[in-house]
Structure 1
Amino acid sequence: MSFVRTYTKPKVFGFVTLGALVAGAVLGFIAKDSGAKWLSETLTTISTVFTNLLQFTVIPLVFTAIIVGVNSLRSLGGPRTATRLGGKTLLWFGITSLIAVLLGIVIGLIVQPGSGVQVAPAEANIARVEDRATGNWWTFIQGLVPANFLEAFTEGKVLQVVFLALIVAAATYALGDRAKPFATFNQAVFDVIQKVLGWIILLAPIGVLGLIGKAFATYGNQFIAPLFSLVWTVYLGAALIMFVVYPLLLKFVGKIDPRQFFARSWNALQFAFVSRSSGATLPLSRQSAVDLGVDPGYAGFAVPLGTTTKMDGCAALYPALASVFIANMAGIELSVAQYIGIVAVAVFGSLATAGTTGWFTMLTLTLSAINLPPEVTATGLAIVIAIDPILDMARTATNVAGQITVPVLVARQENLLDDGERKDPVAV
């Protein structure tokens, strides 16, 4: 029992996870260089099992979290208060997305990732691109509403689940006491899923070993070396957003010490980095916001909503850098109008992101908006898919940092931040 208590302490758990990351990288290189098929298969099996454990909790977690979160707004005031909070939350989502995409464009213009790179994508990756639906606005709108209620859940379509959850939550909120048993049931399911996910999180070091090991065993240096310009610019942009942009907003808008922010959210950021899943990190993200003083009712609404719609890493920074990279690789110089298109998609298209596949949807939407030739788009997507696991870690950590930051900013503006001076909100 004492071992469990020690293991679950944040610092101990962090060191164990970091050690697993290093061990996974070493084992992956060994498997790649020695051709040890059994080792590669073992790492793949571990990563697959851990990923499946995470993913099977995402759909029920997101659905119940949104219903519980919307109904929890009742404690903060009337419908107008709820509408005001939702509006300010979405406004800040847009503002931070604008900052992230502009930062990505600036870095892309300065560094010019992809210039001079001549890398042919693997045939398997080209096939994967051809098999996946590319992002466009009509596809997005048509795919928003499922053919039937259960389809969204059985097929794991997170965005459709969010759409359904918002409708059901609004109806539950409007019915008031008549829907209280339904709201109570969802609260119970939400609590159960959180408990299960808490147990899964304890397995994170093992999962990290498998995930990182699989990435290095599969890709090795095949794509990292020639495509290093994209890798390091994505990590640079993510670092600037997480450790410069967000801290400045927290300090001057949220009136909170950035060191306090990272102290209370580090476990969530670390888990997001290794799991590559905003949905799986949701309980940790929500608790981080509450630990920072955000009213639990508002945190229960804003963080789940941000989990699928607030993705500065996947929906803003990365599409900007990847678009510049793909254009440079094809020898195409982007125009001012095309850069404006990148910005527009990042700010207004973040609702098209959904769970772990959001980056693909957003990147294809962006490439479609700037009208790159189809063969350039297909080739570029096939190449970036090859190194996606490495890029996705930084993107997801950035997403989660934003999903915690925005509720803090709005809570400060609405007097819902408990730092010893919180006041009751005024309903209008």
Structure 2
Amino acid sequence: MTTANTAPRAGRKLPGWARSFGAQIIAALVAGLILGLWAKSLGEPAEGQANWLTQTLTTIGASYVSLLKAAVAPLIFTAVVSSVANLRAVSNAARLAWQTLLWFAITAFISVLIGIGLGVALQPGATDTPTEPAGFSGKTGDWWAFLTGLIPSNFLGLEAATKTADTGALTTTVGFNVLQILVIAIAVGIAALKLGKPAEPFLALNASALAVIQKVLWWIIRIAPIGTIGLIGKAVATYGWNTIGSLGMFTVSIYAGLALVLFVVYPVLAKSHGLSVRQWFSGAWPAIQLAFVSRSSMGTLPLTQRVTERNLGVPRAYASFAVPLGSTTKMDGCASIYPAVAAIFVAQFFGIQLDFVDYLLIVIVSVLGSAATAGTTGATVMLTLTLSTLGLPLEGVGLLLAIDPILDMGRTAVNVAGQTLIPTIVAKRQGILDTSLYNAHRTSDPFADDAVADAAAADDAELAGARA
């Protein structure tokens, strides 16, 4: 009598590099290149028609863009409501809260101007043969349309558009106005904040909905390699190697902007407030370094808050508000530099002219719309928000996802650097920064000496008691 071996067999696991999302995106980029060149070599079977492979790649890419569109509206609404509602945790420190938000906006404004300047100067998306996006009827939006468009016509921010099809029939499409959703979400968040306890069930429901939507968005982002194959393949099939050259120039433009903010703008702000630049860099560096590797502001949050308190001398009572808020809304890399350069890239790549009003809209959306990035991976939603506001083709979102892992490392590092600097500046301006802790000697240990940190904690407790 034989006994069957019931021990489970260990399943074969993919190697670590193959399970990496970044590796999958790079593999998708290579696959898209190969398929695109193959589709280009097949030619066109008939005038005005694409071959079967180009049609397949186009369908895959368009389907992925549709998924992104579907997730934007509910994500922005729930994320902005949650961000506004977070202010209830600092009702006794309104002055610090508004100072923090003000400096978030100031640095975002500086960063987006740098992004626009680099996009205009370097022309990362300029090609001799610009792509013509399918179904794109032309850029929409002017200054007055923007102002009037801020006023919601209905609670959901829905808009209907009617156009004449090639057959002569009228077709009506319904879409979301992203800026109207922002206005609605801000109004609802403030109302819930004012109501207090009666609004708690609503805010709990909103937080739960945000978590669900974030999970769905993560699923969409996880299948980005499939969308990348379709979008890159279609672009290469149409215009060959021009696409790859443009993406390379786009990467250079982004990192040039990130370097200017991290190594010029932030040090100037620190120095202008009487803070040692070297002490700030050495104190914040553990968090900046982890952010670059992890590509996650939320994942770096515990370390970011610790270095802000123990290395930079920001009182814990204030840091516990400012740093978590910054991890969702203080994103100079993702929400300012990146969407500015990306919007200009998309316009240039598709041969669309931008005017002064468009650049002004980029500034406004970047400064006011950063709350839309709350809780998401990367800057996909912020880019979609900017392109939607300008009326630019959303095909550019999928196109840029191909190189997003490369960009996201630098973007996240700049985000986290700003999340440590702004609370430090505000604490210094309000006279609550522990300068002895900020200027403490740094050793191989990334944190200040325990004796100095304990003294700062005692001062923090005294500050909290005075506020109470």
Q: Give the TM-score band, short-chain normalised.
A: 0.5 to 0.7
Structure 1 residue 160: Cα displacement:
2.3
Choose which of 173, 181, 184 in structure 2 pairs with 1:161.
181
Q: Report the counterpart of residue 128 of structure 2 in structure 1.
A: 118
SS at match of 1:150: coil
Choose which of 2, 16, 25 in structure 1 pairs with 2:20.
16
Structure 1 residue 306: Cα displacement:
5.2
2 CA distance for matches of 1:296 and 1:172? 22
Structure 1 residues 288, 361: closer, same or farther in 2, change over 3 A? same
Contact 1:310 1:350 in 2 (8 A): no
Choose which of 224, 227, 234 in structure 1 pairs with 2:250.
234
1 CA distance for matches of 2:65 and 2:388? 23
2 CA distance for matches of 1:204 and 1:326? 23
Structure 1 residues 245, 67: closer, same or farther in 2, change over 3 A? closer
Q: Report the counterpart of residue 140 of structure 1 in structure 2.
A: 146
1:208 and 2:216 are equivalent in the alignment: no
- 1:355-404 CA distance string (max 9 Å, x none): 4434436767xxxxxxxxxxxxxxxx78xx76653336668847766554
1:98 and 2:113 are equivalent in the alignment: yes
| Superposition TM-score, scaled by structure 2 size | 0.60
Structure 1 residue 238: Cα displacement:
0.8
Alignment of 1:188-227 (within 5 A): 188-191=205-208, 193-194=210-211, 197-198=214-215, 201=218, 204-205=221-222, 207-220=223-236, 222-223=238-239, 225-226=241-242
Alignment of 1:28-427 (within 5 A): 28-29=32-33, 31-32=35-36, 33=38, 40=57, 47=64, 51=68, 55=72, 58-74=75-91, 77-108=92-123, 114=126, 117-119=127-129, 121-122=131-132, 125=134, 127-130=135-138, 134-151=140-157, 155-175=175-195, 179-183=196-200, 185-191=202-208, 193-194=210-211, 197-198=214-215, 201=218, 204-205=221-222, 207-220=223-236, 222-223=238-239, 225-226=241-242, 230-243=246-259, 245-246=261-262, 253=270, 255=281, 256-258=283-285, 260-264=287-291, 266-267=293-294, 269=295, 285-293=297-305, 295-305=319-329, 311-319=335-343, 347-348=363-364, 350-351=366-367, 355-360=382-387, 389-391=398-400, 397=408, 403-415=415-427, 423=460
Structure 1 residue 39: Cα displacement:
7.1
2 CA distance for matches of 1:150 and 1:387? 25
2 CA distance for matches of 1:92 and 1:56? 26
Amino acid in the other structure paired with 1:141: L
SS at match of 1:146: coil
Q: Report the counterpart of residue 272 of structure 1 in structure 2.
A: none
2 CA distance for matches of 1:37 and 1:316? 30
Structure 1 residues 307, 187: closer, same or farther in 2, change over 3 A? farther
Contact 1:98 1:343 in 2 (8 A): no
Provide structure 2 residue ranges, at least 5 long, that are not aligned to the other structure: 1-9, 40-51, 160-173, 271-279, 309-318, 373-381, 439-446, 448-452
2 CA distance for matches of 1:321 and 1:155? 24
2 CA distance for matches of 1:224 and 1:120? 11
SS at match of 1:59: helix
Structure 1 residues 20, 297: closer, same or farther in 2, change over 3 A? same
Contact 2:304 2:323 in 1 (8 A): no
Compare 284-293 and 213-222 and name the one that shifted more: 284-293
Structure 1 residues 128, 363: closer, same or farther in 2, change over 3 A? same
Compare 341-350 and 406-415 and name the one that shifted more: 341-350
- 1:186-210 CA distance string (max 9 Å, x none): 14531453266347637754x1321
State the Cα RMSD in Å: 4.9
Q: Pick the structure with more helix per residue.
A: 1
Structure 1 residues 348, 239: closer, same or farther in 2, change over 3 A? same
1 CA distance for matches of 2:16 and 2:198? 41
| Superposition TM-score, scaled by structure 1 size | 0.64
2 CA distance for matches of 1:54 and 1:21? 21
Amino acid in the other structure paired with 2:136: R
Provide structure 1 residue ranges, at least 5 long, that are not aligned to the other structure: 270-283, 365-380
Paired residues in the alignment total 364
Structure 1 residues 39, 164: closer, same or farther in 2, change over 3 A? closer
Structure 1 residue 55: Cα displacement:
4.1
- Specify which structure has the bigger relative contact order, considering alpha-carbon pairs within 8 angstroms and separated by 6 or more residues: 1
SS at match of 1:162: helix
Compare 216-225 and 90-99 and name the one that shifted more: 216-225
SS at match of 1:73: helix
